[in-house]
Amino acid sequence: MKKDGLRISDTELEIMNILWRSGEPLSSAEVFDRLETGWKYPTVTTLLGRLADKGAVSHEKRGKAYYYSPAVDEAAYKAEETERFIEKLHGGSVRSMVAALCESRELTAEDVEKLRRMFDLEE
């Protein structure tokens, strides 16, 4: 499921990545255990609550614990964020974005060849 206009902060994205990778609902304690951020447990529960309020995660109570699952599809969310990024920083031009990436990073011959193959659109 994709939520149009959903904005997930960088810190919330840390949690979403754990939930997307898990493949099963996780308790807040399990999310906390899988994080490598040094955050305190109450920070994790606060972020999970914010994500639930935004509709980015769903949750169900099992005994005393809540279990969280992603309510947005990872690929759809990333595609929407990529579009937003291209529009905001490059005026909607993918060409401009690719040029900026190529100028800011050292490309190996292998990188160039892979890019050529990727963009080689046979008609």
pTM: 0.79
Q: What mean pLDDT is predicted for residues 54-82? A: 94
Compute the CA torsion angle 84, 88, 91, 93 (nearest 10 deg).
Answer: -40
Instruction: Say what the pLDDT of residue 121 is.
Output: 67
Over range 57-84, report the average pLDDT: 94
Average pLDDT over residues 93-122: 83
Start-to-end CA distance of the chain, whole Å, equals: 34
**pLDDT higher at 108 or 68:** 68
